[in-house]
Amino acid sequence: MHFRKGLHIPVTDLYLTRSNTGQARRVKKNVTLKDIARETGVHVSTVSRALTPNARASLSTEIVSKIRETAERLGYRPNRLASGLRTNRTMSVGVMIPDITNSLFPPIVRGIESVLEPAGYTSIVVNTDSDADREARLYDVLRERGVDGIINAAVHRIDPAALQVFDEIPVVTINRRVESASLPAVISDDAGGIRMAVDHLMENGHKVIAHIAGPETLSTGVDRRKAFEAAMEAHGVKASEYHVAKAAHYIEDEGVRCTEDLLDADASITALVCANDRLALGALDAISRRGLRCPDDMSITGFNDIPFLDLIPPGLTTVQVLQFEVGSTAAEILLKMMAGPDSRVPTTTILPVSLIERGSVQKPKRRSKTRKSRRA
């Protein structure tokens, strides 16, 4: 390699062009695979394999390190557009989440990226706002971008759009599943988690327990409600002896509304099992408005273990899901699906959960039957 006097930039990295005024100026040339091959003394195909995560397994660690260090030193930047034209892949994956403000999802996205990035893929995150029509439109946007696969945390129980996309490109659902469908899903043990919460309340002496269920349009809403009913019956409590309020959305306002409805219907309720943490936070707000305290007057449990629940008095007892692992497991399954249509992947992967005991549950105490009205 030759250097011009007074310059410390290789001649091969520069070429001359003319500006709009006609004056010549130096422009740095894009480094190619050939440049790296020439520097390292290997074939271009070897360079290509060393810089492709899925193809470097056949090369020695020393060769891969040498090529990657040379590429970094020369300032090599892969041309994804050109690569996509050759391989018919964009090396991008769509990630659909239902609520970008929900703190449940950042750890899940981190889990996804921990697997996709080392494999050379970029994540495109979109927010559906839990709206089925918006979800369908975003499917079109992602397909127009040419994504190689989709991880969807926003599917509904009945979701024709998801099924249509699955016929075209690989799709994995997380946290939720599409009913009676062959879409691979990575979910948490909803039934086991609700059973743990009910058992914990029963062990603390609660008999009159109610449930704030999630939306009926989502698998988590239905599965967790059915799990509550089964757990209560396992303890010998008949369906007529407990109450269920169904939330329209997994948000705090719905937790408030459902709690008020439940307490208006039965003043003897001493505990609430909520289908997620945000509903539980709404329940805490609702009982506070009525002059009640948790856990003195009402024990409450949540589901998911979103951040900072331990900092909100009295600390919410909740079912902890493996958020990071949900994302990483889904990404691993999607990589297998994108590798070839014949790849065998599980239809449903259920990850374990655990009960995190905090201060929101204690043995019930006698309290006055006089309640403040909803209006108050």
Backbone angles phi, psi at 265, to 5 degrees: -80, -30
Q: Comparing C-alpha atoms, which of 274, 257, 367, 256 is closest to residue 316?
A: 274
Number of domains in the chain: 3
Q: Are residues 194 and 293 in the same domain?
A: yes
| Confidence band for 366, pLDDT divided at 50, 70 and 90 | low
Q: Are residues 173 and 196 in the same domain?
A: no
- Burial of 34: CB neighbours in 10 Å, binned 0-12, 13-18, 19+: exposed
In a domain, 106, yes or no: yes
Q: Are residues 313 and 327 in the same domain?
A: no
Q: Are residues 316 and 212 in the same domain?
A: yes
Q: Are residues 109 and 144 in the same domain?
A: yes
In a domain, 360, yes or no: no
The last residue of a domain, from among 36, 59, 85: 85
Q: Are residues 220 and 164 in the same domain?
A: no
In a domain, 69, yes or no: yes
The last residue of a domain, from among 34, 60, 85: 85
For tokens 């009982």, the residue is 287
CATH code: domain of residue 288: 3.40.50.2300
Q: Are residues 64 and 106 in the same domain?
A: no
Per-residue pLDDT of 112-164, as tens digits, reads 999 999 998 999 999 999 898 999 999 999 999 999 999 999 999 999 999 99
Q: Are residues 182 and 327 in the same domain?
A: yes
Per-residue pLDDT of 81-100, as tens digits, reads 455 444 557 899 999 999 99
CA dihedral sign, ordered 182, 187, 192, 198: negative
Q: Are residues 170 and 67 in the same domain?
A: no
Per-residue pLDDT of 244-270, as tens digits, reads 999 999 999 999 999 999 999 999 999
pTM above 0.85, yes or no: no
Q: Are residues 229 and 157 in the same domain?
A: no
Q: Are residues 151 and 180 in the same domain?
A: yes
Question: Which residues span the domain enclosing 309?
Answer: 190-321
In a domain, 4, yes or no: no
